[in-house]
Amino acid sequence: MLKKGIILVLTLLMLLLIPVSVFAQFKLILNFDDGYWGVYENAFPLLQKAGIPAVVFMPTNLIGKEKHLTLKQLIQLKKEGWEIGSHTVNHPNLAELTTEGLKYEIINSKLYLQEKGLIDGSYASFCSPMTVWNNQIKEIVRANYRVARAKRLFVFDKEVQVEALLKVILKTTRITVIQKWIEEAIRLDQPLILIFHEVAGGGNEYYFPPEKFAQLIPLIKKYDIVTLQHLLTEKEK
C-alpha cells in the first residue's frame, strides 16, 4: 500500500510540473509572411469586408520595395486591427550569421517597427525566416519579443508548452484540405495558424490564387479568427 501511495503522489507531482498549454482552445489565425503586395491588393479587401484580422510578418528592409507592401499600406492594416510582426531586416538565413548579425536582424527590425508605430507597448511578435531556429536565436528573440513563430509557436513570458497547428498554404492547397485542418484543430481544441505568403496569380508555389482565397472566406468567417496578440490577451483575462 505504501509503495502504491508513493507512486500516486509522484504521478500527481509530475502532472503538476508538466506545463499546460496557454492556447488550449480552438482559434483561427491567418499569417502572411514576407509582406507581398498581393496581401493588400487581393486579400485585405476580402478580409476587411468580412471583419477578419490577420498578422503580417514583414522584413523591414523590403518595405516599399518592388512587389512588397509600402509603409502607408502597413499603417492602414494596423489601423484596421491587423498585427504587424517582425520578419528580420533582410530575411536572411539566421543560422549563417554571427552573433552581431543576429542581433542586427532581430533587434533592429523591431526598433524600426516601433519607430513607425506599427508595434507598440510591451508586445511584439517575431517570425524566423525559413523557420530557422537554434538556442542562440531563441535567446535573442526571447529578450525582445513575447511571441515567435518558427516550426512551432513560442511564448516567452510564460513557462508553458505551446500547442498549435501550423499549416503552410501553397498554390496547390485545396479548400477541402484547409477544411480538414480546421476540423483537426477543433478536435484537438488547439489554435490553427494558416501561413500564407503571396495572394496573387502566377508566381511560384507560394502564390495562392485570389479566386481560391475568395472561396476560403465563407468557410473561415464563421470561426473565431484572431491575431496572435489577441490570442494572448484573451488568455490573460
- Please give the pLDDT value at position 120: 86
In-domain check, residue 209: yes
The structural domain count of the chain equals 1
Q: Which domain holds residue 147?
A: 22-236
* Domain containing residue 215: CATH number: 3.20.20.370
C-alpha cell at 45: 479587401
In-domain check, residue 1: no
Ramachandran quadrant class, 75 (left: phi over 0; alpha: psi -120 to 50; beta: rest) = alpha
- Please give the pLDDT value at position 1: 52
In-domain check, residue 15: no
Q: What is the mean pLDDT of each run of 10 residues along the chain (237 residues)?
A: 48 41 79 98 98 98 98 98 98 98 98 96 95 97 96 82 90 98 97 98 98 98 96 72
- Please give the pLDDT value at position 121: 85
In-domain check, residue 109: yes
pTM of the model: 0.89
- Residue 58 and residue 84: Cα distance in Å, rounded? 7
In-domain check, residue 14: no
CA distances 8 to 3, 17, 18, Å, are 9, 14, 16
In-domain check, residue 13: no
In-domain check, residue 16: no
- Please give the pLDDT value at position 23: 56
- Residue 75 and residue 24: Cα distance in Å, rounded? 32
Pairing of strands 147-149, 153-155: antiparallel
In-domain check, residue 7: no
